[in-house]
Structure 1
Amino acid sequence: MSPVETDADVEHEIDRFSREHAAGWIAYRRERHCSPEPSGEEHETSHSVCERLKSLGIDAHIPERGVGVVADLLLGTADELTPAIAIRADIDALRMPDRKSVSYASIKEGLAHSCGHDVHTTIVLAVAELLTHLKQSMSDHLPSARFRLLFQAAEESCDGARWMVEDGFLKNVQSILGVHVEPNLLAGQIGVRYGVFTAQVDELFIDICGRGGHTARPHSTTDPLHAAAMLVCQLYQMVPRSIDVRDSAVLTFGELHGGMASNVIPDEMHLAGTLRTTSAESRTELIDRIRSICRQFEAVTGNEIRVDFRHPLGSVVNSARETSAFQKAATSIVGRENVIILDRPSMGGEDFAVYMDHCSGSQIRLGCAASLPWPHLHSPLFDIDESAIALGARVMTRTALSLAGMPQLLLTSPAAHSSGKDEDGSA
């Protein structure tokens, strides 16, 4: 039997198993969706994932921190020393309400899976089921490989990936794969991008301290509130004109606190926001410019202004090898016309970037909208077209196997020849 025939059998079995188990995967996603847990507190989710993996015969454990799950799945002659391909899912939810009218809406007040991490968790569990089934039913057709499954806590707080690295779970990992749902793409579409995939993110904190007083006599104060209002406007105007216009950057404040009474000018104002950039040069230029403007405002307003940038997070930069494997896997399933080459990076942050300081990797966008427009990520109405779950599992499984030594797996589907475009999406 030729390699193409062998890989076609594997491909067929992936698709057959996915159709057969799609309803169960949807049920599990709904179970997780109604029981969200915030960053660093994903104890129930971690236990559920760990037990499900152990039921498949996979060596899985919860790290000493008490949240997250790490598991190794071995094929062929691979052992614990074999360089691994990691497959990552984030598992935490958001502190926000769920306002959907569905049977699986959150039962926990003020917590919601509005960023799709329940979907990511289910997809990687489905990949584990698929690989286990293939190992049991057609092991002679598979390469020797070690897959490390990372169910990461605390993505929203940007702590979880760092924890995984600090605890040593990226040692001897050569590649890492990730997926994120995308409500701007229809279910059945896959978004891929080579190179910079997400923005660098810095949290910005500004304290303005001066002399408050009576609102009837602002002339006898340094009016920190007025200074804060002017500073926000000035910084918003500054960003687009301080860097190369071809670069993407955005500064947004989400907090402005100060004062306790309508007739009292406060002594202090506190601002917090994020600076998002897509190049190291723009980041450096804007941080320097923000500090410079704040120094100028100190002189003009007579207030002390303290600026603090915290928790820097780098960009996800998709590697060519893994991204190409994702693109080919997606094309083999949904056809070239449904593989969307994303023309610009997301301005969102993603701590998947932390892993890429230690190995190559790639992340894709999985279309999840039943129609467009669709409720966006972090919306209290966010939900998915659940057909995306099985598709995500199929794409991830094929990509992982191709990187492990089955490149022909991506060339056997007629869907791969259903478009007149080249594999890079060009005409």
Structure 2
Amino acid sequence: MNNMSLLQVAVSLEQEIVAHRRHLHQYPELGFQEFITSEYVAEYLEQLGLQVQRGVAGTGVVALLETGQPGPCIAVRADMDALPLREQTGLPYASRHEGAMHACGHDGHMAMALGAARMLTGLRRELAGTVKFIFQPAEEMLGGARHMIDAGVLESPRVDGIIGLHLWPDLPTGQFGVKAGTIMASMDHVDIMVHGRAGHGAAPHQGVDAIIAAAQVLSALQVLISRESDPADAVVLSMGSIHGGSIPNIIADQVEIRGTVRAVNAATRERMRTRVTELAQAVAAGMNARADVRYEFGYPPTVNDAKWVRYAEEALRGLYGEEAIHPLAHSQMTSEDMAYYMEHVPGAFLLIGTGGEGKGKFPLHHPELAIDEKALHYGAAYLAQFVRNYLRE
């Protein structure tokens, strides 16, 4: 089967791949609750004749495509969970689960992996080795990849490398964002509890206003980015949640601030942990309040192996030509728990453009996110081409 015929197979499967995505889009489930989703995935993979294991790390699915010939094992990873978001697209296949939406493209990730599984099943006789399909739960904030690794998904057989894709509305359809080294940032969690002293709103001097103290802490933290960080060193601090107080005429005694810090440099990551804690505590103390800081390291940076990126580029050239490769000038400040797999085995994680026909209007995690579904068969073909090249080599 030559490259053109493989692409033709992907085109012929386009409607089926899109149907997968639309079905999964209608039934989004949050992390570790992907029961309907995982059953749909498992049933389809079983229909293809793959060896399927259900219930991995709770709701994960692992499927093996055995070629019957000795060789390496390559993993194809897709995540399954949705976001706690009320969809506002108005699409006929919009979410039927109130308060949940596939707004990060995981429905597309699964659809592309299922399409690749269908294509690779037809290529079984010309391959040597094993393809392991990993459909993992709970990528969003919960680190499902760690649970899958703990459950042994990189063993039996031992995985030699891993590949994956992330839908990316900032790129036009037909473009693949490629970068060797760090492609996505780390993500760490910050929880600051500011303690004051309650009082009457008419006598603020008798209390310690936790809201005022928290506001000063929030303002001061931005100095860590604007005045303490090298402008060439990518780091982002985003405090996305603040809660405190009860009614208008009571001085609040407690305010909670929660957010994330993202970095691509290990030293910067460590510095931010130290300085966020020091500054929050010092500023609160200056307001006669107290700040308790819980700072937890979360997802590590997602680091692509240079050799595996070259493999990815070869697969893309073979299918679409050089014009499909979009070199990324810098790391993306989003984070991915794909990073955990790639701490153990080499891999290539690429961004696939979905911004065709005006579909890049809304970003990921937006309730009106819509993607260009033509991208799905491009992605499926790429995954299949990469695996075919690797297992033939």
Equivalent of residue 11 in structure 1, options 3, 23, 27:
3
1:305 aligns to 2:291 (yes or no): yes
Equivalent of residue 21 in structure 1, options 13, 17, 21:
13
**How many angstroms apart in 2 are the aligned matches of 1:313 and 1:65?**
18
Aligned twin of 1:91 = 80
1:379 aligns to 2:371 (yes or no): no
Structure 1 contact 91–152 (Cα < 8 Å) conserved? yes
Aligned twin of 1:184 = 170
Q: Deviations over 1:90-128 (max 9, x none)?
A: 011111011112211111111111111000001111111
Equivalent of residue 395 in structure 1, options 377, 382, 386:
382
**How many angstroms apart in 1 are the aligned matches of 2:48 and 2:93?**
26
Q: Deviations over 1:171-222 (max 9, x none)?
A: 2111010100000011111111111111111010001112121122222222
Moved segments of 4+, more than 6 Å: none
Q: Counterparts of 1:22-101 in structure 2 under 5 Å?
A: 22-78=14-70, 83-101=72-90
User: Superposition RMSD on alpha carbons, in Å?
Assistant: 1.4
**How many angstroms apart in 2 are the aligned matches of 1:212 and 1:397?**
62
Q: Offset of 1:324 from its aligned partner? A: 1.1
**How many angstroms apart in 1 are the aligned matches of 2:297 and 2:285?**
28
**How many angstroms apart in 2 are the aligned matches of 1:232 and 1:329?**
47
Q: Give the share of equivalent positions with the same residue, in percent.
A: 33
Q: Which runs of 5+ in 1 are unaligned?
A: 1-8, 407-427
2:77 alignment partner, SS class = strand
Aligned amino acid, residue 351 of structure 1: D
Aligned amino acid, residue 248 of structure 1: A
Equivalent of residue 162 in structure 1, options 136, 146, 151:
146
**How many angstroms apart in 1 are the aligned matches of 2:216 and 2:235?**
21
Q: Offset of 1:405 from its aligned partner? A: 3.3
Q: Counterparts of 1:330-349 in structure 2 under 5 Å?
A: 330-349=316-335
Q: Counterparts of 1:346-357 in structure 2 under 5 Å?
A: 346-357=332-343
Aligned twin of 2:185 = 199
Mark the CA change 1:46 to 1:311 in structure 2 (over 3 Å): closer, same or farther.
farther
**How many angstroms apart in 2 are the aligned matches of 1:388 and 1:249?**
30
Equivalent of residue 111 in structure 1, options 100, 111, 116:
100
Q: Offset of 1:241 from its aligned partner? A: 2.1
Aligned amino acid, residue 69 of structure 1: V
Q: Offset of 1:65 from its aligned partner? A: 4.1
Mark the CA change 1:66 to 1:284 in structure 2 (over 3 Å): closer, same or farther.
closer
**How many angstroms apart in 2 are the aligned matches of 1:96 and 1:277?**
26
**How many angstroms apart in 2 are the aligned matches of 1:357 and 1:296?**
36
Structure 2 contact 285–291 (Cα < 8 Å) conserved? no
Range 345-354 or range 293-302, more displaced: 293-302
2:291 alignment partner, SS class = strand
Aligned length: 390
Q: Offset of 1:240 from its aligned partner? A: 2.9
Q: Offset of 1:74 from its aligned partner? A: 1.4
**How many angstroms apart in 2 are the aligned matches of 1:226 and 1:379?**
31
Structure 1 contact 240–249 (Cα < 8 Å) conserved? no
Q: Counterparts of 1:220-239 in structure 2 under 5 Å?
A: 220-239=206-225
Equivalent of residue 233 in structure 2, options 247, 252, 256:
247
Structure 2 contact 176–350 (Cα < 8 Å) conserved? yes
Aligned amino acid, residue 16 of structure 1: Q
Q: Which runs of 5+ in 2 are unaligned?
A: none
Q: Offset of 1:311 from its aligned partner? A: 4.8
